[in-house]
Structure 1
């Protein structure tokens, strides 16, 4: 996870440079969006694979594929080869992320899972401090291609470890009935055609909102229609209705991730364009956010059995709402730009509390031999949330920018829109609560067990 984080934070800042070098700046939104879109596909494939034979094989495939895709990107001679490299890298990232979560669910006891997830977050601290400046120095001294080659060399270490050291482990068999009315029967197995359709639609949507004209509007419309038609097939039933248990947990992952990563995209853009802040300040925003996320994740790992997980999700969402409000205030010229930097760190604190808690809740709501499916659904939901929230916010931002001489009102509108998914997450957090078997609610009716909430 450490080297995966280093690879991600070293490569991302260099993508605009690579696109310009390959005469493909116009296709940069597709270069950036291909990774997120492909992680949908990788997450679904990895989840099903982990359920069939344990997390080792999809994890091994993910880290080995990461090395290969970095080499594809490093040797790019056209922008389309770079797009291909980023797309396959997204598949690899989806495999790795889902496999790590499934492995924690299959291998760790309940009281250690929170600390294991906090350790995964801590692995991003050093990469956030060293990755971007080191990659920038290497690119300036030699070439962006050297960075890709170097990261591929570093990633050989976890690839070799996965191949040579990890022991095979089978997921525990689920206990209970297997008939048509059983919880297992209600789990919807994602179909590969639907997964491919959603992955392509996500990339098409992100490309469509990159400009304001008839062609891009048509692409975005087709992408949204395809997402509406096929995305529900990849998620638990009643996800869009926030059904109690796993469906609500999956939905909240989409809402919180979509809001945070959209904020993370717009705050640096506002600092560099509307507020004319030096690039080093923007870099501090990313570093502060990574440190804040890791710190909050460490805190949630120490709150095991002290604070209910669904309450940590609600607290995290409330902190994110405050962060968005601070970012909105920074659209006023009288407010110092440094406040916008702090808004990213505040939002990261909220995510550090909410994201591991949602992952643990998803595992608690899932039978042992379906935790790969749950991890894949969470990864799919995260990617969909990022795609849809960013697309809607970008469309509003583009429209307001076209009608105004200043970009600050467009940023204010974008931040105001982000309040909606965050408020929804805070209000729906109670639906993710884990209920023990035999527990009764205030009316005396039995509360659904964790397995039953898969319905």
Structure 2
């Protein structure tokens, strides 16, 4: 089917003269609105981790604790693919506003929930909203900004996470203790209205899809639904160590594997040159970093006896250097070296992710473990900034205008799948090597108070296995980054002709 869209480099009609910044001239309102929306989503992502223990306790829902997170990511998988198809055919305006409405509605559902299942349902609605919004924003960048400004705008996506990562836990903790956990969810929807109002004039000036309103590709949307259902079944099975879990695990694999092969660009899992490797690299980068990060605070608390607050601060530097790395890749003089930057980023991540394993060595001075982890995560954050933002820029460069939405959706689906699969693998390694008992019995009180014995819990092997495995994944990503340039042969073949579905 032919899918037409305007040229991705076409600027808004009122951009009569060149501008050198995404925050000047006709782009000011749109850029500020984008940054504000991303910041609010980032704040919610940071705040929910702080409020979740209180929410789960109040709703008597500790057994469903993990589903509040997996429900979000699983629903977002489906929404990302839907948003890509929707944007390619109708433009990004309606998917963006629908996503913001769903995100806000999910916050209200969770904030007003009277039982844990309702809360989890609200988180799933948030995931649908978040998936619609992030892909629509990528398409907005592709259609509204000239190519020379896109790297800087992509860098602003990462920069928009910096302040929320720093203040989110503090604000959420204060609100939870003073007003109750519900207000962490109920207060955010009101704040979304202002940035949408600022963005609306610029969004209305975006060029239409050549007057065409083709129906959404139901096959691709159904594949995304199968991926989400399969991922959900695998998550459920992964938390049940009985033989009964084999049935949902088999059903999950049967849905997930063939659907992913058809949903992502052809050649993704063999690191085909060009777009397939860009998509694969995004999943490896996001999943390996998060898979290791999930277990860093727990290690510092249980193995090194640090307070919970100090353990969390060890990761803060990574958020700051992530923004720095994203800013670095946006410099125009580095544009010819984008693939090299991504190789460097993945190599830095591999070294950084392995760093916390050194903090497990015996005989270190008291300050050394925290310093090792903080320094490692600062290096890793810089590598993530180089890699994640560059992947987004490279994807738009390799995409035909009419496929920017679908390809952006593939990038986000890879990101979400990487998170789900590699965080799950980290958890399986940790539990399989005996780490599951680290929070049991006497350790539970130590974790809650941040006062576990400095001598550790004897689970260093489990922690080290997680870090070294995720470092190996990041190192594999460094190899994938050598295959980002499209194949040179077959001059008649455009770079996105390799993204066809199986």
TM-score by length of 2: 0.81
SS of 2:458's equivalent in the other structure is coil
Q: How does 1:412-451 map to 2 (within 5 A)?
A: 412-434=464-486, 446=491, 449-451=494-496
Query: Paired residue for 2:159?
Result: 122
SS of 1:240's equivalent in the other structure is helix
Root mean square deviation, CA, Å: 2.3
Query: Paired residue for 2:422?
Result: 389
Spell out, residue by residue over 1:373-403, the C-alpha distance to the aligned partner (whole angstroms, 9 max, x if none). Answer: 0110001011111111111221111110169
Long gaps (5+) in structure 1:
174-187
Spell out, residue by residue over 1:158-193, the C-alpha distance to the aligned partner (whole angstroms, 9 max, x if none). Answer: 3444567631524666xxxxxxxxxxxxxx985333
Q: Shift in Å at residue 102 of structure 1?
A: 1.2
Q: How does 1:304-315 map to 2 (within 5 A)?
A: 304-315=333-344
1:378 paired with 2:411, answer: yes
Q: Shift in Å at residue 274 of structure 1?
A: 2.6
Q: Is the 1:45–1:95 contact (alpha carbons within 8 Å) kept by the matching residues of 2?
A: yes
Query: Paired residue for 1:94?
Result: 131
Query: Paired residue for 2:57?
Result: 20
Query: Paired residue for 2:141?
Result: 104
Spell out, residue by residue over 1:179-222, the C-alpha distance to the aligned partner (whole angstroms, 9 max, x if none). Answer: xxxxxxxxx98533321221122233233334544345654454
* Distance in 1 of aligned mates of 2:315 and 2:484: 30
Q: Is the 2:107–2:185 contact (alpha carbons within 8 Å) kept by the matching residues of 1?
A: yes
* Distance in 2 of aligned mates of 1:15 and 1:79: 11
Long gaps (5+) in structure 2:
1-37, 211-216, 438-456
Q: How does 1:47-446 map to 2 (within 5 A)?
A: 47-161=84-198, 166-170=203-207, 191-210=220-239, 212-216=241-245, 219-335=248-364, 336-338=368-370, 339-401=372-434, 406-434=458-486, 446=491
Larger displacement relative to structure 2 (216-225 or 133-142): 216-225
Label 1:447 to 1:271 Cα distance change in 2 as closer, same or farther (>3 A): farther
* Distance in 1 of aligned mates of 2:428 and 2:436: 13
Q: Is the 1:53–1:169 contact (alpha carbons within 8 Å) kept by the matching residues of 2?
A: no
Query: Paired residue for 1:181?
Result: none
* Distance in 2 of aligned mates of 1:162 and 1:251: 32
Give aligned pairs, total.
Answer: 434
Label 1:325 to 1:253 Cα distance change in 2 as closer, same or farther (>3 A): same
* Distance in 2 of aligned mates of 1:91 and 1:160: 22
Label 1:374 to 1:408 Cα distance change in 2 as closer, same or farther (>3 A): same
* Distance in 1 of aligned mates of 2:491 and 2:386: 30
Q: Is the 1:208–1:219 contact (alpha carbons within 8 Å) kept by the matching residues of 2?
A: yes
Q: Shift in Å at residue 157 of structure 1?
A: 2.5
* Distance in 1 of aligned mates of 2:236 and 2:176: 27
Label 1:214 to 1:406 Cα distance change in 2 as closer, same or farther (>3 A): farther
Q: Is the 1:6–1:131 contact (alpha carbons within 8 Å) kept by the matching residues of 2?
A: yes
Spell out, residue by residue over 1:301-350, the C-alpha distance to the aligned partner (whole angstroms, 9 max, x if none). Answer: 11554542211111000000110221221222334321123322222111
SS of 1:428's equivalent in the other structure is helix
Label 1:199 to 1:211 Cα distance change in 2 as closer, same or farther (>3 A): same
TM-score by length of 1: 0.89
Q: Is the 1:111–1:304 contact (alpha carbons within 8 Å) kept by the matching residues of 2?
A: no
* Distance in 2 of aligned mates of 1:159 and 1:386: 29
Larger displacement relative to structure 2 (335-344 or 402-411): 402-411
* Distance in 2 of aligned mates of 1:63 and 1:31: 19
Spell out, residue by residue over 1:258-278, the C-alpha distance to the aligned partner (whole angstroms, 9 max, x if none). Answer: 101112211122122332221
SS of 1:277's equivalent in the other structure is coil
